[in-house]
Structures are given as C-alpha cells and as structure tokens.
Amino acid sequence: MLVANVFRQDFIRLGYTASLSYHLSRDQADEEPHDDGNDFLLPPAKIGSPSRHRIRTHYLGWAGDGHLGRTNVSHALYYVRGTDEQHPIGRRFDAE
C-alpha cells in the first residue's frame, strides 16, 4: 500500500482547502491462508473463484472542504483503475 497526498489551504478563496491524492494497492497472493487477527480463517470470496490471485489498483482523488463565500463545501471525487483477472463481474472480455 502506498499513499501520497498534497493539499493547498486557501485554494481559490480564503477558507477552502483542496487536496489531491494517489493510492496504490498491491495485493500479492500468498500461499498461506489468512486469519482475521483473532485466529479465525477468512472465508473464500462469495463471488468468483476462491483461488488466490493478485489485485493491483490505482486511486486518483480530488477532495475539498471549507467555504466559498457563505456556502459550505465538502466533496470528494475518486477515479479507480486496476486489474483482477479472476473477478467475474469486473473483468474485461473481447466482444465478437
């Protein structure tokens, strides 16, 4: 996991803070089963293949908080792109 964040206070106007962030998640499949920290094994996925596989995702985000004049503003917008070849819903396929 990697997270990078930059922000600017008083962006556009006094009292509004804007933030840009980048998140990288690299889930490398291990050969060992995982537990939840209380010595209980985690169950397999309810959708798709229970086999172990790698997942890599990139998140790009823009968020802001504060006020623009008399209007209070709080927002967040994220774009996510990644790969999970064994995911049955989000995988890519070639149309014929």
Helix (H) or strand (E) holding 92: none
pLDDT at 89: 66
pLDDT at 63: 96
Contact (CB, 8 A) for 8 and 21:
no
Query: Could you count the other beta carbons within 10 Å of the beta carbon of residue 16?
Result: 19
Q: What is the pLDDT tens value at each position of the chain, 96 positions in all?
A: 889 999 999 998 899 999 999 999 887 766 566 666 777 666 655 555 566 667 788 999 999 999 988 899 999 999 998 877 666 666 555 544
Burial-class residue 93 by CB neighbours within 10 Å (0-12, 13-18, 19+).
Answer: exposed
Q: Quick one: how far is CA 9 from the chain centroid?
A: 24
